Amino acid sequence: MVATTALFEIGMQTKIEATKHQAHAAELFRRAGIFITPVEQKQIETADFGLGEFTQTGLGVLVYVNTERCCAKELAMWPRQTCPEHRHPPVGDDPGKEETFRCRWGKVWLYVAGQTSPVIHCQPPRGREATYTARREIALNPGDQFTILPNTLHWFQAGDEGAVVSEFSTRSRDECDIFTDPEIQRLAKIAT
Amino acid sequence: MVATTALFEIGMQTKIEATKHQAHAAELFRRAGIFITPVEQKQIETADFGLGEFTQTGLGVLVYVNTERCCAKELAMWPRQTCPEHRHPPVGDDPGKEETFRCRWGKVWLYVAGQTSPVIHCQPPRGREATYTARREIALNPGDQFTILPNTLHWFQAGDEGAVVSEFSTRSRDECDIFTDPEIQRLAKIAT
């Protein structure tokens, strides 16, 4: 339970905002042809990474399954919304999360550590450019996919219509993700 | 390369039949709202499990990714088509494949080892009833899913319209699957 005063913390999503974002994420899934249940709609995480600029830096996340061994999610992205740069480090015996992104609808530009691409189609969120370092660009249109190896820096941004992306991976341990931007909190609270 | 005489082996799919089945599987995916590329359509496996009765005992399978650690597929099922009973045993250090089925379109009845359900909605393929032993029934409509633990006997059958099912799992090692029916060959050849 977050204290009432938390409502006034800069950038914290209110329950009303989160519910509105959940409805829009469900609508994006619907456009992508993906059926989710009413219960699942309420389970959509509207991650703003603690920055309080959800439609700029954020992600709608529906986790289908996340066991000790594997995980599947749908990601809903608003037009030009960015998932900030991060990596999935080794945790104990686990070499770190391996994940495959498959674009279902719209378009997403993925940036991974490696050789800088000759043309870069996305701008990182304004004021945070220094926290975006990966410049190997991979364009994902519907039916395209890319597998990111563990501990590899990556970030991604939707195109002008937004995007829906399926993620297939080993176990998700979001709390262990390492973000380049020190201001980011992956598991930001929602004001109640 | 299969010898020409193989064309006349009972039940072996011809290339023409397999291509026709691939096209129909792609159409089922389209109905489910799933976009696949033309290249992927040609990669759809039309598994008949060596029985030569594809629309009765079979499965259209599109593998998106299958690494050492995780796997994602789409399954296309014809009306009342059955995937025969099998389990995924431990292999070396791997405790066996764990898989989650999520119904995307149509309906599928899943049967797993455990307590027999009071009502069973499916009949196994005729003449092969003895090779279907799991009788715990789980009905999967769009948006429903179920996780099958390693080494658990299971089989499934589509409803009257057919079905499209997403599978999220640990690594697939189809060649290691153990089927209850000794006549089944998981990796049956296609006549060329």
Query: DSSP letters of A1-23?
Result: ---GGGGGSTTPPBHHHHHHHHH
Question: What is the predicted pLDDT for the residue at B189?
Answer: 54
Question: What is the predicted pLDDT for the residue at A153?
Answer: 98
Average pLDDT along chain B:
92
Question: What is the predicted pLDDT for the residue at A186?
Answer: 72
Residue A83: both structure tokens together: 């998932």
From A35, A64, A166, residue closest to B142, measured CB to CB: A35
**A170/B143 CB distance under 8 A:** no
Q: What is the DSSP letter of A192?
A: -
Chain A residue numbers with beta carbons less than 8 Å from the beta carbon of B69 are: 69-70, 98, 170
Give A86-112 pLDDT, tens digit per residue: 999 999 999 999 999 999 999 999 999
Rounded CA-CA distance A164/B118 in Å is 40
Asked whether residue B181 carries a pLDDT value surpassing 50, the answer given is: yes
**B65/A169 CB distance under 8 A:** no
The ipTM estimated for the assembled molecules is 0.92
Asked whether residue B6 carries a pLDDT value surpassing 50, the answer given is: no
Q: Sign of torsion, CA A113 A118 A124 A128?
A: positive
**A98/B72 CB distance under 8 A:** no
Give B120-168 pLDDT, tens digit per residue: 999 999 999 999 999 999 999 999 999 999 999 999 999 999 999 999 9
pLDDT tier at A189 (50, 70, 90 boundaries)?
A: low
From B34, B67, B71, residue closest to A33, measured CB to CB: B34
Rounded CA-CA distance B87/B97 in Å is 9
Closest-CA residue of chain B to A103:
B35
Q: What is the DSSP letter of A32?
A: T
Distance set, CA A90 to CA A65, A93, A96, A152, A179 (Å): 21, 7, 4, 11, 14
Question: What is the predicted pLDDT for the residue at A9?
Answer: 45
Average pLDDT along chain A:
92
Helix (H) or strand (E) holding B76, with range, is: strand B71-77
What average pLDDT does this structure show over B82-107?
97
Asked whether residue A19 carries a pLDDT value surpassing 90, the answer given is: yes
- Residue of A35, A105, A25, A32 lying closest to B163 (CA atoms): A35
Percentage of chain B exceeding pLDDT 70: 91
Give per-residue burial for A46-65: e unless 16+ CB within 10 Å, then b: bbbbbbebbeebbbbbbbbb
Closest-CA residue of chain A to B32:
A33
Rounded CA-CA distance A148/A132 in Å is 17
Question: What is the predicted pLDDT for the residue at B7?
Answer: 40
Better-predicted residue by pLDDT, A31 or A10: A31
Cα within 13 Å of Cα(B13), Cβ side: 24
**A64/B147 CB distance under 8 A:** no
pLDDT tier at B11 (50, 70, 90 boundaries)?
A: low
What average pLDDT does this structure show over B176-191?
82
Per DSSP, helices labelled H in B33-97 are: 38-43
Give B159-175 pLDDT, tens digit per residue: 999 999 999 999 999 99
Chain B residue numbers with beta carbons less than 8 Å from the beta carbon of A141 are: none
